[in-house]
Chains A and B, each alone.
Chain A
Amino acid sequence: MAPYEPIDLSSLKTRVKEQIQAAFPDAHIDYCLTCGLCASGCPATGLEGLDPRKFLRLLVLGQDEEVLSTNWIYSCTMCQRCKHACPMGIDVGRIVYEIRGMRPKEQRPPNLQRSCDLQKKSNSTGIPNEDFVWVVGDVLAEVRKNEPEWSDLEAPIDKKGAMFYLNQNAKEPTVEPEEMVPLWKILHRVGIDWTYSSKWWDGANYCLFTGDPDDWEYTVRMQAETVDALGCKYYINTE
Chain B
Amino acid sequence: MFYATLEGLRRFKIPHNFEFISIITLYAQWIREGKLVVDPSWNTEGVKFTVQDPCKLVRQGLGDQVAEDLRFVIKKVVGAENFIDVWPNKSNNYCCGGGGGALQAGFVKNRRKFGKIKFDQLASTGADVVITPCHNCHTQVLDICDHYGGKWKTTHLWNWIEKAMVKP
Contacts and interface: CB of A to CB of B under 8 A. Distances in A.
Interface in B3-39: 3-5, 7-9, 11-12, 14-23, 26-27, 30, 35-36
A107 interface: no
Contacts of A47: 110, 113-114
B65 interface: no
Contact of A183 (B2, B104, B118, B158): B158
Interface residues of A, number: 61
Contact of B4 (A77, A179, A191, A208): A208
Interface of B: 1-5, 7-9, 11-12, 14-23, 26-27, 30, 35-36, 54-57, 59-60, 91-95, 97-102, 104-107, 110-111, 113-118, 133-135, 156, 158-159, 161-162, 165, 167-168
A234 to B, nearest CB: 5
Contacts of B116: 43
Contacts of B101: 74, 77, 109, 112, 115, 206, 209-210
B95 A220 contact: no
Question: 3 tightest A-B contacts by CB?
Answer: A209-B101, A220-B8, A77-B100
Nearest to A74: B105
B5 A182 contact: no
14 contacts: A43-B95, A43-B116, A74-B110, A76-B100, A81-B94, A109-B105, A112-B101, A166-B23, A179-B156, A204-B1, A217-B12, A224-B15, A228-B18, A235-B20
B55 A75 contact: no
B35 to A, nearest CB: 5
A109 B55 contact: no
A129 interface: no
A145 interface: no
A40 B23 CA distance: 33
A21 to B, nearest CB: 17
A112 B167 CA distance: 43
Given A43-B114, A237-B20, A81 B14 contact: no
Contacts of B22: 236-237
A206 B168 CA distance: 39
A106 interface: no
A109 B111 CA distance: 14
A239 B61 CA distance: 11
Given A109-B104, A236-B26, 10 more contacts: A74-B100, A78-B100, A79-B55, A84-B92, A190-B35, A216-B4, A220-B8, A221-B12, A223-B5, A234-B19
Contacts of B115: 43
Contacts of A203: 1
B9 A75 contact: no
A139 B168 CA distance: 26
Interface in A212-239: 213, 216-217, 219-221, 223-224, 227-228, 232-239
Given A190-B36, A227-B16, A238-B23, A79 B99 contact: yes
